[in-house]
Amino acid sequence: MPRLERLTAAHASAVLEFERAEREWFARWVPDRGDAYFTAEGFAARHAALLAEQDAGACRFHVLLDDDARTVLGRFNLMDVVTGEDGELGYRLARGATGRGLATAAVRKLCALAGASLGLSRVWADTDVHNTASRAVLARAGFGPGVPVDREGKPALRHARVL
């Protein structure tokens, strides 16, 4: 049974493997992170920075691990957390893991953690206007319909869930 775990330094190699394997798939929906990100050095620096952000309390990063607890199926994150207020949800799921309800279950679990552990009252997420699968995940996880926003110069929809 896949499980959601808080990101640690021990996940680094599995996360890099996941990001490399799914790079083309993710680039369909989000801006590519650039070649430097996918190098061992570039990734190590970014991973360390994420862990520092997490330690400071600004973000909570998670990985969805397969049954073997070594293979990353997805990443599910809360960013720009303002305790007692809100935070932004972001996630990405491996192409081969789609269509199994894994993203919906992980988003629901992360929302529960956001309310119980962080005291958030609301979580919001932006989706590409053409990403119907992501919008369906958010709807099944209790998010409202999206309202149009501009996301880095591209049209997007912002969905919110009151916790």
Residue 69 has pLDDT above 80, yes or no: no
Q: Check if the beta carbon of residue 11 is closer than 8 Å to that of residue 17.
A: no
Euclidean distance between CA atoms 7 and 72, whole angstroms: 11
What is the total count of domains within the chain?
1
What pTM was computed for the model? Answer: 0.91
For 62, the token pair is: 């998670």
If you average pLDDT over residues 10-35, what whole number do you get?
A: 91
Dihedral sign from CA coordinates of 65, 27, 54, 102 = negative
Domain range spanning residue 50? 3-162
Residue 128 has pLDDT above 80, yes or no: yes
If you average pLDDT over residues 100-122, what whole number do you get?
A: 95
Q: For the domain that residue 52 is a member of, what is the CATH number?
A: 3.40.630.30
Residue positions counted in the chain: 163
For 104, the token pair is: 């919906």
Closest CA to 73 of 88, 54, 59, 92: 92
If you average pLDDT over residues 6-11, what whole number do you get?
A: 97
Euclidean distance between CA atoms 2 and 70, whole angstroms: 11
Residue with token string 């199994």: 100
If you average pLDDT over residues 109-123, what whole number do you get?
A: 94
